[in-house]
Amino acid sequence: MEKNKFVIWGRNPIIEALKSKKSIEKILVAHDSHAPKELIKLAEQQKIKVQRVPRKKVEELAGTKKTQGVVALLSPIQYWNEDDLINEVLEKGGVMLVLDHITDPQNVGNMIRTAEVFGVDGIVLPKERSSPINEVVVKASTGAVFHIPITKVSSLKKFLDKFKKLGGWVVSVEKGGKPIHKIDFPFPMAVVLGSEGKGVSKSVKDSSDLIAEIPMKGHVTSLNVSSATAIALWEVSKQRFDW
């Protein structure tokens, strides 16, 4: 079935996938089941999240009841090493887009699509509280996930601090900043957008070199995060590529 394209189930198949270093988003274990110690150990070594969920969820994802209580969500892409992505952006004097805990896969896909269209050099996602790169993201991105480097990091703040120490700049798109169309952007640069509910994380905002605000006139004073991404990256790309 199409919905099972990025799912494997059963204890031994998942252990073998872990041993072969398949790119796994996360592993789901039914509440009433116990995953083998070898599986848990391999997941911990590779820093893959193991999450407890109802058995019904496991069986729905697998499309079968013969799951042995465990499923793994495979990534359709191979993630980049974070240091390699930093070096890529620094060498190009380029731009990376940082998705600060965006959990809606439709938004994540739209944001990746927009980034690829505007020539962004890479995408940064946190390992926790972020949508996995799944079939919804792939479809929403119209395949852009296969054409742009993507990395997952344990801590956005630590990653961005490392980027800054090596010569990068961090710009967060958030209310209360300078109007985005009046900023002379510094390159190489990380552009950060946060979730619609909470915005950019406080720790990331505190580490930012600049806060950029999208001016608004209407009664509704917020934008969908993917729409905000499109506006922000358009302003950045105009300066970068002299459009």
As annotated, the residues of the chain forming the CATH 3.30.1330.30 domain(s) are 2-74
For all residues of the chain together, what is the average pLDDT? 93
DSSP secondary structure string, 86-107? HHHHHHHT-EEEEEES---HHH
Q: How far apart are CA 194 and CA 37, in angstroms?
A: 36
**Least confident segment among 47-51, 83-87, 185-189, 225-229:** 47-51
pLDDT single digits (tens) 63-110: 999 999 999 999 889 899 999 999 999 999 999 999 999 999 999 999
Per-residue pLDDT band at 1 (split at 50, 70, 90): very low
Q: What is the pLDDT, as a whole number, of residue 5? A: 63
Q: How many helices (H) and strands (E) does the chain have?
A: 9, 10
For domain 82-241, which CATH number applies: 1.20.1290.10, 3.90.550.10, 3.90.226.10, 3.40.1280.10?
A: 3.40.1280.10
As annotated, the residues of the chain forming the CATH 3.40.1280.10 domain(s) are 82-241
- Which pTM does this prediction carry? 0.87
- Using a pLDDT cut of 90, give the percent of the chain over it: 82
Q: What is the pLDDT, as a whole number, of residue 93? A: 97
Which overall architecture, per CATH, does domain 2-74 show? 2-Layer Sandwich (3.30)
Per-residue pLDDT band at 125 (split at 50, 70, 90): very high
Q: What is the pLDDT, as a whole number, of residue 8? A: 93
Q: At what angle do helices 11-19 and 37-45 cross, to 10 degrees?
A: 30
Q: How far apart are CA 43 and CA 133, in angstroms?
A: 18
Kindly compute the dihedral angle of the four CA atoms of residues 219, 220, 222, 225, in this order, to the nearest 10 degrees: -140
